[in-house]
Structure 1
Amino acid sequence: MSDAYLALEDGRVIEARGRAPGRTRGELVFTTAYTGYEESLTDPSYEEQVLTFSYPLIGNYGVRAERFESDRVHPRAAISHEFTEDVAEWLESENVPALDHIDTRDLVTSIREEGAMKCGIAVGEHATPADAKAELAECKGMSEHVDIGEQVTTADPTTYGDGAVDVALVDCGAKQSIVESLVERNATVSVLPYDTTAAELADVDPDLLFISNGPGDPANFSAAQDLVEEYVGDVPIAGICLGQQVVARALGGTTEKMDFGHRGVNQPVRDLDSGTVVMTTQNHGYTVGEPGEELDVTQVNVNDGTAEGLANEELDVITRQYHPEAHPGPHDSLDFFDDVLAMTGAASENTHAVADD
């Protein structure tokens, strides 16, 4: 067991047990999810962040690759009260520093009170508090990575499925379960790089433009925003998480950074039309401030009133701030994908049985 140190922006240095060695830095965030740690750790939206699990034991049902949302672990480091050997070995194999034996309740409380903060981490046999402080100092001197999309997008266009509806999914850090949710509903999904141009999209000739989730500030995804501006009114448009923010910015809205974001599988969302409240999976640090004149807010977060759904029926635009694909999380909002595909005029065919999950 290695020595481990976590240096926080508030001046504290916390000693911990090292589970996977390394030195790193990043934005310290937390998730309240008590299952789905494999999905969380492979979610590209956590790129360049340090992920703290509020649930005390992470790894109690092992590690299975079929649950992964991408081909690698994305957080720069992982923190828990206790990691099982399976998870610790997996993180070490991915060269992702991991530390536990930390009072994560206290750590999460600090993030909630002070907001997401920068941190430095040093884990290893010869790690020292000074090493963690040095990483923190480097982190403080860094601005947010404006090309973060390049780190999480597909290298080349890739096609999944052979269905009746052609979907162009702009990969700003897409979870694989979004692709699967569309393919299961009789769609052909072309996953495209985050910097795809309007001319390149024209070659795909999609029935639907879909902007994916992803990490960081939506302002850094200008190419995706340009696509929305170019195609709105001509092709139905949908977005999830960062995708909602990109769509909003393209149609005259604004976005802003949240204090500590929404990350977990129990975020309550109210539909303004029906009054129905559903539980949702979320992972984002930015939100839509003002939706602009083109978009109506259709759903809001029960806890803080932030926009969770936007729409324009005349333009065939529909977005969600949360993750309807629910990997992990409740299946309350899976019908979003049916609604999205219905905008194309083609009936979707859901070949996925929830009972098989």
Structure 2
Amino acid sequence: MYKAILVLEDGTVYEGYSQFEHAQKYVGELVFNTSMTGYQEVMTDPSYAGQIVMFTQPHVGNYGVSSRDNESEGIKAAGLVAREVSMVPSNYRSESSLTQWLGNDDVPAFWGIDTRELTRRIRDKGALLACIATGESLDPAATLSWLKAQPKYGERDFVSEVSVSEPVALRLEGQGDLEKVLTGEAGGAKHVVVVDYGVKRSIVRNLLRRGVNVTLVPNSYGVEEIERLRPDGVLLSNGPGDPQVLSAQSEKILRLTERWPTWGICLGHQLLALAFGGKTYKLKFGHRGPNQPVQYLPTGKVEMTSQNHGYAVSELPEFLELTHINLNDETIEGFRHKDKNVEAVQFHPEAGPGPHDAENFFDRFCGAI
């Protein structure tokens, strides 16, 4: 346990502790998550790329880490902040402590501060760029000067950092044969192409459990390349960053909707809205955590959902029908096209961690392809 500082772009400085002795600066947009459990799933969720996650749950790390709970290959968040971090995990599934696991990927943990006060600051001022500085020579003024020279969160393309670099075919029993997909010999099951903007493993698992074959493709993949995979449907995944950074994807997405059922989750929801002429905006401090009430307007049913987004859709054209609203702040949580097989939700129906109320999204999608 070594002294460290957390410096915010507004000049606020917090003194605490880190697991790192070496001198280093770690930058990210500071956001908070209200989950009571699931810190490992959160830290490996690609949607958190470029962000330092503060947990409002005051004590994290008590059940350790298990590789079976990862939502991607490795840690994607830029750092972790908590009131207290357990150094001695107690769970039969644990493979290492939280701080050891983070340290293996050179990701800092920062603890020993009043996270309630810091949460209120973010709620008042909005998400802030922040720096965790470690090492013996801790200079708040120099760290703040360095921090102000860093690019803003919304200016970076994080999707390119977390997307797969080449197609990956997946089957219920594991890795599939991409050549069989290309030649149409992959079996009689329906085939979904997931455009990987930062997909979570739980999304893939939910598709596989419903008996479909899945191929992940890079976000840069074109329509003709996707067509070679012979999909029955296309899913645009979740992912990090400002959707408007990916505005060049709009033409491709529109072409996808002309050829296949095309649905979206989280960032995929925002990109579909932008492609059809809708608008997005940055939320003050975002929705991050479980138990967010969302109403499904076609039936009036309320579902408790898990969410993780800092941007939202603000306007929809007339031919897109609003299907879901957030009952906390009435923000747009879902829509469908009135004439095309297109539907999207802002929340995470796979909910890892979180409630399973909204998993029917996958039933509707698989039934529509």
When normalised by structure 2's length, the TM-score is 0.89
1:5 matched to which residue of 2? 5
1:136 aligns with 2:138: no
Q: Map residues 157-236 of structure 1 onto 2, 5 A cutoff.
A: 157-161=167-171, 164-222=189-247, 224-236=249-261
Q: Map residues 11-160 of structure 1 onto 2, 5 A cutoff.
A: 11-20=11-20, 22-85=24-87, 86-139=97-150, 141-142=151-152, 144-160=154-170
Deviation at 1:226, TM superposition (A): 2.8
Deviations along 1:288-307, whole A, 9 cap, x unmatched?
A: 11022221110100011111
Deviation at 1:19, TM superposition (A): 2.4
Percent of aligned positions that are identical: 41
* Whole-Å separation in 1 of the counterparts to 2:204 and 2:143: 38
* Whole-Å separation in 2 of the counterparts to 1:135 and 1:62: 34
Q: Please say which of residues 93-102 and 268-277 is displaced more in the overlay.
A: 268-277
Q: Please say which of residues 11-20 and 48-57 is displaced more in the overlay.
A: 11-20
**What SS class does the counterpart of residue 3 from structure 1 fall into?**
strand
* Contact kept in structure 1, 2:286 and 2:308, CA below 8 Å: yes
Counterpart residue type for residue 17 of structure 2: R
1:275 matched to which residue of 2? 300
* Contact kept in structure 2, 1:30 and 1:54, CA below 8 Å: yes
Deviation at 1:207, TM superposition (A): 0.7
- Unaligned 5+ segments in structure 2 are 88-96, 172-185
Q: Please say which of residues 325-334 and 231-240 is displaced more in the overlay.
A: 231-240
User: How many pairs align?
Assistant: 343
* Contact kept in structure 2, 1:43 and 1:175, CA below 8 Å: yes
- Unaligned 5+ segments in structure 1 are 345-357
* Whole-Å separation in 1 of the counterparts to 2:4 and 2:153: 26
1:244 aligns with 2:269: yes
1:354 matched to which residue of 2? none
**What SS class does the counterpart of residue 154 from structure 1 fall into?**
coil
1:285 aligns with 2:310: yes
Deviation at 1:170, TM superposition (A): 0.3
Deviation at 1:93, TM superposition (A): 1.1
Deviations along 1:4-63, whole A, 9 cap, x unmatched?
A: 111112221111112245311121111001111110000001111111111101112110
Deviation at 1:313, TM superposition (A): 4.9
- CA-based RMSD: 1.6
Q: Please say which of residues 184-193 and 69-78 is displaced more in the overlay.
A: 69-78
* Whole-Å separation in 1 of the counterparts to 2:152 and 2:58: 31
* Contact kept in structure 2, 1:265 and 1:281, CA below 8 Å: yes
1:347 matched to which residue of 2? none
* Whole-Å separation in 2 of the counterparts to 1:177 and 1:53: 21
* Contact kept in structure 1, 2:280 and 2:313, CA below 8 Å: yes
When normalised by structure 1's length, the TM-score is 0.92
* Contact kept in structure 2, 1:251 and 1:294, CA below 8 Å: no
**What SS class does the counterpart of residue 269 from structure 2 fall into?**
helix
